[in-house]
Structure 1
Amino acid sequence: KQFFLTKSASEPTFETTVKLLTKSDDPQQLVYGVVYEPDVEDAHGDFMDAETIEKAAHGFMEEYQNIDKQHDFKTSAGKVVESYVAPSDMTVGDTAIAKGTWVLVTKATDELWESIQKGEFTGYSLAGTAEVEEVKKQTTDNFNNSKMYRDINAALDAFRSATWNILDNYAVDDSTRIEGIRKEISELSALINSFQT
């Protein structure tokens, strides 16, 4: 079972579970949780950068601040008492928190606090809507973007090799060598023109 933090009443496009960082004997019934850490993949292979996390954290505080149970959008499970984006690397209890991480603190209702004590709720679950932006791997992008450059260099290397072979062939006269080089130039030109831009 989970303790749910709901960000949007519209159909969620993402959901992530958050481990609670709380002391079982806290008389204030404060429930700490890391909502989202920058550049760390969640269970679905998605991640957010620090800027996007900050935008989500601020939007949550401006528009929603709704804490419910099991994404029912009705049951009050407590109140948000703190929400912040870590300004630097830090620790909460025994948990290391990276700069840019969204941390949420809620004051649980008596009923929910009792459920947390029993282990019936073990984390927040952030649900909301987000635009999914596919991130291509940089190595693949760099490789694909430099393909034409590599092809032109390979064509020039092949041309140089072919022309040196022609020039080094002393068994033929100069006019034959010049004609061979012209053919190689024509072939190189056709090859370069065939590259897609």
Structure 2
Amino acid sequence: MERPQRYVLGIAYQAGPDPRIATGADGSRDYFTPEELEKAAWAFNKSSRSIGLHHADGTEGHADTVESYIYRGPDWDLGDGVIVKSGDWLIGSVLDEPTWERYEKGEFTGYSPQGTAKRRKPSILTES
């Protein structure tokens, strides 16, 4: 029996505001412009490429980042209500065995970058 590659591809961060989200879990509505998101994605590639679990310290090492890039379009309908748009940051990872098993059970449904940023109000709010 052939062993699975344990590869997953997901949106690490969406470019621009998501019209479906009025307020985030922290009470704010944060987003990156496509240009700033590209800078963040490239900085990730240069520095850590580390993936942890559930934003918890000490959980790194369960996934190896093998792809990280800005999607250049056209719109890609995943068929589950999610549409990948030009400017979105995608990450592909190979999961270790225990994490793959948890992924197959539906315990992991996406990426959520953990890091620091400076919050500021945009000078021009562009929504489409």
Whether these two folds match at TM > 0.5 is yes
Larger Rg: 1
Distance change >3 Å, CA 79–CA 118, structure 1 → 2: same
1:53 to 14, 37, 58: 37
CA offset at residue 86 of structure 1?
Answer: 0.9
**Structure 1 runs of 4+ with >4 Å offset:** none
Q: 2: distance between equivalents of 1:93 and 1:45?
A: 24
Equivalent residues of 2:11, 2:110 under 8 A apart: no
Identity %: 29
Q: Secondary structure at the match of 1:124?
A: coil
1:77 maps to amino acid: H
Q: Secondary structure at the match of 2:87?
A: coil
Q: Show CA shifts across 1:11-62 (max 9, x none).
A: xxxxxxxxxxxxxxx9211111111121124623111110011001000010
In the alignment, what sits opposite 1:181? none
Please state if 1:79 is matched with 2:64: yes
Give the paired residue count: 113
In the alignment, what sits opposite 1:112? 99
1:96 to 65, 83, 87: 83
Equivalent residues of 1:89, 1:96 under 8 A apart: no
RMSD, matched Cα: 2.2
- Give structure 1 stretches of 5+ with no counterpart: 1-25, 139-197
Q: 1: distance between equivalents of 2:106 and 2:113?
A: 19
- Give structure 2 stretches of 5+ with no counterpart: none
Higher relative CO (CA 8 A, sep ≥ 6), structure 1 or 2? 2
Distance change >3 Å, CA 75–CA 39, structure 1 → 2: closer
- The structure where helix makes up a greater share of residues is 1
In the alignment, what sits opposite 1:36? 13
